[in-house]
């Protein structure tokens, strides 16, 4: 029983990490209707930047969160403006290829610049264990969970309470109608893509103390994030959050009870089954495969 | 290397003269000459490095060509295609290791396994659209890769598997690397030949139809899933063969490289750069891009790690932004036109099929019946106990206000919607009652339909659009073309036969809907507002056309808002309002029916007129 509770606790901590990445992916898909295959590479870029800031300026990764959010917002906005926007009218294939191409280019650029070596960021104190009622979590994991909750709550308030948030929701629901009401849809898309990428900027600062950065770290996380997004119904931030918790727990439990190297098999299997049998996601937040 | 292999006539087997004539076609001889360079250059240059580069070109061009059958022709963007390559490689290697089976046989065992896996993956995933299909294929690739690592006792796991080094042709392992090139080139030729054969056959047209519009494809009698499965099975088998060969060439297998996501993306990328859905595109893309990678590796060594991938990615983004048709798609037609100016080309004359015999059957007998059709969408009852009988040889008009549920009835009697309750019965050629399960089965039983909102295959020409319908009764391209030409003349589209459908005005598009449906040689024709948006002259022509069609023995049921036309045309009229049949009878009777006037003009009008 103790083991099970500890595993679930670990799962929730892991889930909060996936949640931050997946909420960003969901924002981009839900609003711009583009699946960003380069999402993981944004994370990778952020993690290298955190590493460089820590190495050269001695910045603590958590301090880097602010510049990372701003930098990734800019990266996302630029990608939307100069790559996705010209392709909005094109075949879906072409859009997929564009983000896949971007992903390939970024992975290999990192390989070219940094090589295949692992780089760890020094972050004093954050890997210390914290004891809660006999169970152990890392300080960094608690920060992650709190950040994920604050992020979702903040985005919720932003979407519901601000004029810009309303314009974004309107655009997501019906692009043409929003345009007729005077919403500048292209600008909304740039902001939405930027926000989605900014989530990854936050994630890169929080993940850096826990995982060493490599050129392919993004692929590792983003495949999981795709599973989460599909589980959550593809367009719902809240669905993505819940989906992330589920995948975190599944990851933690199957790693222990089945085999550590088969945990991905378990959630990819869930992913395929959900895609095929319940394409609206587990909680019915989404609208399926169209 | 810029030759687009698109021959228009194939050699009848065993006839020397015909073969010579085929070889005399400039498209054939320039393609073959260009292809032979892949073999000639490395033999002449005679450097191990150049041989390696060309073997790699053959393998990746072959993989990309095989991928293109699914990703290009069928439009199913698989990004996990290396799963079949890996299966081919491991099957062959393990069969040598455990059973001493020669790779010449092992590669076919691998292909069979791959085909089985492709059906297992394809069948459930084909209902997914665009990015979700791509994600599912990535997930399958990852699962297989992780399983290959996990079951290391069997596969060697991450440590890898070394192919037993037995030299000679029996074991496909050679000291002299040029032998590998012969095999790789042979496999490439096989793959190109199959890809070309598909492109220029009924299957090729069907795949395009399914890629462009699944609904219209069903209406033309095409089983969408069946056609896609054929494509993925062929593609998986070919991909697997290259995997088997490459394993013998590399002699070392590890899950990371055998089930590689990066390589899966690369082969798709080569096809896009060269031209998605063209025969020569994938080869062209590979020839342009792969040497960059191999030369970078050869000259710069490990310091250039990542350089080729970076170039790949940048090229891919640039192509999507500037040349989404790829090289062959953008420049292909111009190059082909140039090649056609070389000596030796003969264009075969257009052949038109003779008119069809009149259909058999006793006029007046029922050919289609609906029994108490009910269709509910959530709380809305779109059709409410609709029972209609269609009799052979008649023209039945269906009228009713907008939103009355007419098209919903059509969707049920052509298999596009399953009724909530009630049945549709079709009487087949022998007079037996049948209820088909899917839209394409309705079409093959002889129920042809048009769509109210036209559904052309936009990137195909008018004649090719009609051919998609004609393929239901004709297997060969020539016969389908002849039948399509006859229909084009009948409906008055002959003058635009080579125009891409997306460039047609609405009147011609409506006629194209009718033409494509007629080409399936239906015995029952469902026309959904084919006169909407037509001018007076065109409407008159359409009325005459429908009469001509009926005179060949076809039974017609038509939804129409053009009252004058439908009243003069129909033998019988059914009026539908709010999902119910409110009147039925001959046209003169129906127009005087109180309930019909009410439905169209409201109760007030009826009262005011004192009817």
Interface test with A, best of B121, B135, B308, B319 (most A CBs within 10 A): B135
Q: How far is A154 from chain B (nearest CA, A)?
A: 29
Chain B, nearest residue to A216 by Cα: B262
Which residue in this structure is represented by tokens 């060697």? B156
Q: Is the CB of B590 inside 8 Å of chain A's CB atoms?
A: no
Instruction: Report the range of poorest mean pLDDT among B113-122, B220-229, B411-420, B533-542.
Output: B533-542
Q: Which of B81, B132, B133, B213 to mutate to test the interface with A (most CBs of A within 10 A)?
A: B132
Interchain contact B435–A (C-beta under 8 A): no
The distance of B324 to chain A (nearest Cα, Å) reads: 7
Domain locations in chain B?
16-340, 454-521
The residue that leads in pLDDT, B549 or B234, is B234
In this prediction the ipTM stands at 0.90
Nearest Cα residue in chain B from A111: B306
Which pLDDT score is estimated for B96?
A: 94
Determine which of B98-112, B166-180, B225-239 has the lowest per-residue pLDDT on average. B166-180
pLDDT of residue B9: 47
| pLDDT of the residue at B13 | 55
Contact present, B114 and B237 (Cβ < 8 Å) = yes
Identify the residue whose tokens are 């950040």: A147
Residue with the larger pLDDT of the pair A124 and B421: B421
Contacting B residues, span 146-175, partner chain A, CB-CB under 8 Å: 146-147, 149-150
Per the CB < 8 A criterion, the answer to whether B393 and B555 are in contact is yes
pLDDT digits (tens, 9 = 90+) for B375-431: 998 888 889 899 999 999 899 999 888 888 889 999 999 999 999 999 999 998 888
Sort strands B395-399 and B572-577 into parallel, antiparallel or unpaired.
parallel
Residue B1 has pLDDT above 70, yes or no: no
- Residue B606 confidence (pLDDT) above 80: no
Spatial contact of A121 and A51, defined as CB atoms under 8 Å apart: yes
* Strand, helix or coil for residue B584: strand
Contact A237/A217 with Cβ under 8 angstroms? no
The pair of structure tokens assigned to B333 is 């037609």
Per DSSP, helices labelled H in B151-223 are 152-155, 178-199, 202-212, 214-219
Contact criterion met (CB below 8 Å) for B267 and B104: no
Structure tokens at B597: 């006037």
- pLDDT reported for residue B611: 60
Helix (H) or strand (E) holding A7: helix A2-32
Do A269 and B143 count as a contact with CB atoms less than 8 A apart? yes
Q: How does pLDDT run across B159-180, given as a tens digit for each residue?
A: 899 998 889 998 998 988 999 9
Contact (CB<8Å) A289/B261? no
Neighbours of A120 (CB within 10 A): 13
Dihedral sign for Cα B208, B209, B215, B217, please.
negative
For residue range A187-242, list pLDDT tens digits in order.
999 999 999 999 999 999 999 988 999 999 998 888 889 889 888 877 788 889 99
State how far residue B321 is from chain A, nearest Cα, in angstroms.
7
Q: Looking at CA atoms only, how far is residue A98 from chain B in angstroms?
A: 5
Distance from C-alpha of B121 to C-alpha of B141, rounded to nearest angstrom: 10
Contact criterion met (CB below 8 Å) for B591 and B430: no
- Considering only the beta carbons, identify the residue of A93, A215, A226 that sits closest to B77: A93
Of A103, A121, A108, nearest in space to A52 by CA = A121
Whether B233 has a pLDDT exceeding 90, the answer reads yes
B77 touches chain A (CB under 8 A): yes
In this structure, are residues B443 and B316 in contact, taking their beta carbons and an 8 Å threshold? no
**Contact between residue B174 and residue B180 where contact means Cβ atoms under 8 Å apart:** yes
| pLDDT over 50 (residue B3) | no
pLDDT, residue B431, reads 82
A220, closest residue in chain B (CA to CA): B142
- Over 70: is that where the pLDDT of A284 sits? no
**Nearest Cβ partner for B321 among A83, A96, A110:** A83
- Phi then psi dihedrals of residue B338, to 5 deg: -65, -45
Give the closest-approach CA distance of B265 to chain A in angstroms: 8
With contacts defined as CB-CB under 8 Å, which chain A residues touch B276?
93
Give the DSSP H or E segment for B423. Answer: strand B421-427
Residue that is written with structure tokens 């015999």 in the block: B357
Top residue of A100, A280, A287 to mutate, by most chain B CBs within 10 Å, is: A100
What span, in angstroms and rounded, lies between the C-alpha atoms of A268 and A197? Answer: 24
Compute CA distances A94 → A244, B268, B269, B273, whole Å. 29, 12, 11, 11
Q: Inter-chain contact A105–B125, Cβ cutoff 8 Å?
A: no
Q: Are A68 and A53 in contact (CB under 8 A)?
A: no
Look at residue A225 and give its three-state secondary structure: helix
Residue with the larger pLDDT of the pair B192 and A223:
B192
As a whole number of angstroms, the distance between CA B526 and CA B529 comes to: 10
Q: Chain A within 8 Å of B358 (Cβ-Cβ)?
A: no
- Is it the case that residue A137 has pLDDT exceeding 90? no
B261: Cβ contacts below 8 Å, ≥ 6 apart: A219, B79, B80, B82, B138, B141, B142
Give the tens place of pLDDT for each residue, A140-173. Answer: 888 999 999 999 999 999 999 999 999 999 988 8
Distance CA B105, CA B96 (A): 10
Q: Quote the minimal CA–CA distance from A233 to chain B in Å.
A: 12
Neighbouring residues of A130: CB distance < 8 A, sequence distance ≥ 6: A136, A137, A138, A139, A142
The whole-number average pLDDT for the span A38-58 is: 94
Pairing of strands A135-138, B380-386: unpaired
Contact B310 A91 (CB under 8 A): no
Q: Where are the domains of chain A?
A: 22-216
Count of A-B CB contacts under 8 Å: 151
pLDDT of residue A260: 85
Rounded to the nearest angstrom, the minimum Cα separation between A142 and chain B is: 30
Residue B8 has pLDDT above 90, yes or no: no
Closest by Cα among B131, B609, B363, B499 to A33? B131
The predicted pLDDT at position A101 comes to 93
Q: Do the strands B366-377 and B389-391 form a parallel or antiparallel pair, or are they unpaired?
A: antiparallel
pLDDT confidence of residue B5: 42
B272, closest residue in chain A (CA to CA): A97
Task: Work out the percent of chain B whose per-residue pLDDT is above 90.
Answer: 55
Residue ranges of E strands in A68-141: 129-132, 135-138
* Cross-chain CB nearest to B312 (options A94, A104, A262): A104
pLDDT tens by residue, B313-330: 898 899 999 988 888 888
CB-CB neighbors (< 8 A) of B263 in chain A:
none
- Contact residues, chain B, for A271 at CB < 8 Å: 135-136, 139
B16-340: which CATH number, 1.10.10, 3.40.50, 1.10.3470, 3.30.70? 1.10.3470
User: Are B264 and B81 within 8 A, CB to CB?
Assistant: yes
Q: What is the mean pLDDT of residues B39-62?
A: 93
B309/A101 Cβ within 8 A: no
pLDDT digits (tens, 9 = 90+) for A66-120: 999 999 999 999 999 999 999 988 888 899 999 999 999 999 999 999 988 899 8
Q: What is the pLDDT of residues B331-375, one digit of tens each?
A: 988 898 888 888 876 677 778 887 776 677 788 888 999 999 999
Q: Counting beta carbons within 10 angstroms of the beta carbon of residue B551, is it exposed (0 to 12), middle (13 to 18) or buried (19 or more)?
A: exposed
Residue of chain A whose alpha carbon sits nearest to that of B212: A91
């Amino acid at each position: 029983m103790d083991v099970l509770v500890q595993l679930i606790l670990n799962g929730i901590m892991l889930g909060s990490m996936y949640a931050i990445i997946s909420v960003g992916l969901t924002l981009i898909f839900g609003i711009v209707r583009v699946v960003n295959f380069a999402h993981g590479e944004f994370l990778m870029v952020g993690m290298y930047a955190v590493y460089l800031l820590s190495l050269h300026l001695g910045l603590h990764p958590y301090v880097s969160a602010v510049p990372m959010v701003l930098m990734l917002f800019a990266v996302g906005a630029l990608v939307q403006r100069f790559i996705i926007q010209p392709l909005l009218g094109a075949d879906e294939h072409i859009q997929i290829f564009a983000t896949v191409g971007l992903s390939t280019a970024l992975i290999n650029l990192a390989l070219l610049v940094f090589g295949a070596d692992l780089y760890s960021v020094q972050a004093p104190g954050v890997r210390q264990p914290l004891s809660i009622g006999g169970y152990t979590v890392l300080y960094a994991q608690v920060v992650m969970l709190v950040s994920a909750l604050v992020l979702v709550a903040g985005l919720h308030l932003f979407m519901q309470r601000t004029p810009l948030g309303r314009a974004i929701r309107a655009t997501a629901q019906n692009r043409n109608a929003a345009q007729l009401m005077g919403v500048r849809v292209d600008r909304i898309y740039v902001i939405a893509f930027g926000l989605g990428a900014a989530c990854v900027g936050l994630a890169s600062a929080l993940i850096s103390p826990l995982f060493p950065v490599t050129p392919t770290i993004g692929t590792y996380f983003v495949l999981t994030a795709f599973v989460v997004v599909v589980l959550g119904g593809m367009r719902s931030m809240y669905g993505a959050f819940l989906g992330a918790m589920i995948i975190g727990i599944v990851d933690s439990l199957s790693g222990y009870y089945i085999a550590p190297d088969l945990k991905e098999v378990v959630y990819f299997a869930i992913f395929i089954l959900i895609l095929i049998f319940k394409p609206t996601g587990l909680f019915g937040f989404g609208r399926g495969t169209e | 290397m810029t030759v687009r292999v698109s021959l228009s006539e194939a050699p009848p087997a065993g006839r020397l003269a015909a073969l010579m004539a085929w070889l005399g076609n400039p498209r054939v001889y320039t393609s073959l000459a260009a292809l032979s360079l892949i073999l000639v250059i490395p033999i002449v240059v005679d450097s191990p490095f150049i041989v390696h580069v060309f073997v790699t070109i053959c393998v990746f061009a072959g993989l990309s060509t095989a991928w293109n059958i699914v990703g290009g022709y069928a439009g199913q963007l698989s990004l996990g295609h290396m799963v079949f390559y890996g299966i081919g490689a491991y099957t062959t290697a393990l069969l040598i290791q455990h059973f001493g089976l020669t790779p010449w046989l092992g590669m076919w065992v691998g292909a069979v396994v791959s085909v089985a896996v492709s059906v297992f993956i394809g069948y459930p995933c084909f209902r997914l659209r665009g990015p979700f299909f791509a994600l599912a294929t990535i997930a399958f690739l990852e699962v297989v890769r992780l399983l290959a690592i996990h079951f290391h006792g069997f596969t060697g796991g991450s440590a890898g598997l070394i192919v037993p080094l037995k030299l000679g042709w029996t074991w496909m392992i050679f000291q002299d690397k040029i032998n590998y090139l012969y095999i790789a080139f042979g496999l490439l030729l096989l793959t190109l030949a199959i890809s070309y054969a598909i492109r220029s056959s009924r299957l090729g047209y069907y795949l395009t139809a399914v890629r462009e519009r699944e609904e219209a494809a069903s209406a033309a009698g095409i089983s969408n899933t069946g056609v896609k499965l054929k494509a993925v099975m062929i593609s998986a088998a070919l991909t697997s063969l290259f995997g088997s060969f490459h394993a013998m060439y590399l002699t070392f297998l590890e899950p990371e490289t055998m089930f590689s996501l990066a390589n899966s993306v690369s082969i798709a990328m080569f096809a896009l750069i060269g031209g998605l859905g063209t025969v020569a595109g994938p080869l062209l893309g590979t020839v342009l891009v792969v040497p960059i990678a191999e030369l970078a590796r050869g000259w710069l060594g490990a310091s250039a790690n990542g350089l080729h991938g970076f170039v790949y990615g940048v090229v891919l983004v640039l192509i999507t932004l500037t040349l989404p048709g790829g090289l062959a798609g953008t420049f292909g037609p111009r190059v082909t036109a140039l090649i056609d100016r070389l000596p030796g080309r003969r264009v075969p004359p257009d052949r038109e099929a003779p008119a069809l015999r009149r259909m058999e059957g006793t006029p007046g007998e029922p050919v289609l019946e609906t029994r108490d059709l009910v269709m509910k969408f959530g709380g809305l009852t779109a059709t409410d106990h609709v029972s209609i009988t269609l009799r052979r040889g008649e023209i039945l008009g269906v009228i009713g206000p907008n939103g009355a549920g007419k098209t919903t009835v059509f969707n049920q009697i052509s298999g596009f919607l399953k009724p909530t309750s009630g049945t549709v019965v079709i009487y087949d050629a022998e007079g037996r009652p049948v209820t088909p399960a899917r839209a394409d089965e309705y079409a093959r039983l002889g129920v042809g339909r048009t769509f109210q909102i036209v559904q052309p295959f936009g990137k195909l020409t008018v004649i090719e659009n009609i051919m998609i319908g004609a393929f239901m009764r004709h297997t060969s391209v020539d016969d389908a073309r002849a039948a399509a030409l006859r229909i084009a003349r009948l409906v008055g589209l002959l003058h635009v036969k080579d125009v891409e459908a997306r460039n047609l005005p609405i009147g011609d598009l409506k006629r194209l809907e009718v033409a494509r449906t007629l080409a399936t040689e239906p015995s029952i024709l469902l026309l959904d507002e084919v006169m909407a948006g037509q001018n007076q002259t065109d409407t008159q022509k359409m009325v005459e056309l429908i009469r001509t069609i009926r005179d060949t023995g076809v039974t017609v049921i038509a939804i129409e808002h053009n009252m004058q036309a439908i009243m003069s045309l129909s033998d019988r009229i059914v009026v539908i309002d709010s999902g119910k049949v409110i009147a039925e009878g001959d046209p003169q009777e129906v127009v005087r029916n109180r309930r019909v006037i009410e439905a169209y003009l409201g109760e007030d009008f009826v009262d005011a007129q004192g009817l």
